């Protein structure tokens, strides 16, 4: 997950209640429609300028989402994260603020323990107004006993998230190039769920250069999440920028949807000039379709949107 490091001066108060605009975008499919922009009635777009909250097509998946996703896994592990540790009330206020600002893409995972929090935060929001992405942790841990496949996990995810359909479901944290063989049953069951319309797009999140290279060319992959910024391994990437960037370009040329994470180096790139430089590098080089950033309070949401808008409109 890409995250910003919280600042002692950040404030979680002082934002308005969410206002929906009345016109939704055309449906992207029979099961789930494309999301409309949320709370954007008072923020007219600049003609010819791109924005963080623009609705964009994610490859050929039929999914349309905002360029910026709100991640929920800052310092996540063992079904907990800094986001869930905010408590349900603050978590709900944070996600509602993001919706209010036009973000219509929520990225979560079983690892973060955030599913029930997300469900509460999205209660009452029409399902066609946002995109949901989650991830299956495939390994046995003290907190997790995997089924070996995906059916049990996805059924539980849907119950926890109060949704019939997951827009994107990924196998979490691939650490070697052999993941397609290692997790073949999960892949097969996700493919079956995709055929049934229970999941709309499948793929992996990567924490290894070899895993990334495999994802870039593997025919099963619709979507993958990659660690990318302009600083490389010192800022939590899988390898140097010079090694990772060509892989992401190849993946997009192959029709894969690339979602960027660790844009701010998991809190290591927190100076304004560092954040701006990373966003500029990632988007000017067309390395991603969208990014997921684990913003921890409304000020960070506003700041990230402002910074990304500035880069996109340059």
| pLDDT tens, residue by residue, 209-253 | 999 999 999 999 999 999 999 999 999 999 999 999 999 999 999
**pLDDT of amino acid 314:** 87
β-sheet bridge partners, residue 169: 134, 202
Cβ–Cβ under 8 Å, residues 166 and 200? yes
Looking at per-residue confidence, does 7 or 155 come out higher? 155
| pLDDT tens, residue by residue, 153-172 | 999 999 999 999 999 999 99
Question: Which H/E stretch holds residue 202?
Answer: strand 199-206
- Alpha-helical regions (H) of 48-197: 88-100, 115-121, 151-161, 179-182, 184-196
Residue 55 CB partners (closer than 8 Å, separation 6+): 25, 34, 35, 36, 37, 64, 65, 66, 104
């Amino acid at each position: 997950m890409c995250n910003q490091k919280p600042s002692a001066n950040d404030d979680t108060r002082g934002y308005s209640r969410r206002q929906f605009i009345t016109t939704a975008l055309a449906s992207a499919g029979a099961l789930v429609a494309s999301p409309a922009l949320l709370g954007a009635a008072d923020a007219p777009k600049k003609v010819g300028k791109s924005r963080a909250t623009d609705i964009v097509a994610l490859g050929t998946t039929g999914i349309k989402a905002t360029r910026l996703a709100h991640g929920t896994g800052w310092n996540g592990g063992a079904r907990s994260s800094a986001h869930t540790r905010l408590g349900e009330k603050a978590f709900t206020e944070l996600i509602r603020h993001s919706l209010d600002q036009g973000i219509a893409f929520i990225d979560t995972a079983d690892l973060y323990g955030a599913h029930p929090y997300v469900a509460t935060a999205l209660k009452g929001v029409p399902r066609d107004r946002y995109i949901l992405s989650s991830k299956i942790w495939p390994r046995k841990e003290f907190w997790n006993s995997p089924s070996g496949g995906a059916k049990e996990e996805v059924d539980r995810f849907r119950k926890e998230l109060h949704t019939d359909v997951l827009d994107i479901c990924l196998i979490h944290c691939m650490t070697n190039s052999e993941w397609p063989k290692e997790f073949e049953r999960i892949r097969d069951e996700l493919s079956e769920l995709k055929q049934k319309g229970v999941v709309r797009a499948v793929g992996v999140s990567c924490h290894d250069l070899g895993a990334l290279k495999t994802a870039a060319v593997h025919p099963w992959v619709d979507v993958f999440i990659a660690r990318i910024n302009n600083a490389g391994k010192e800022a939590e990437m899988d390898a140097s920028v010079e090694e990772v960037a060509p892989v992401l370009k190849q993946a997009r040329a192959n029709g894969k949807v690339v979602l960027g994470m660790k844009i701010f180096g998991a809190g290591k790139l927190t100076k304004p000039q560092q954040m701006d430089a990373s966003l500029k590098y990632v988007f000017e080089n067309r390395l991603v379709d969208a990014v997921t950033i684990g913003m921890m309070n409304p000020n960070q949401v506003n700041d990230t949107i402002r910074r990304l808008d500035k880069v996109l409109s340059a």
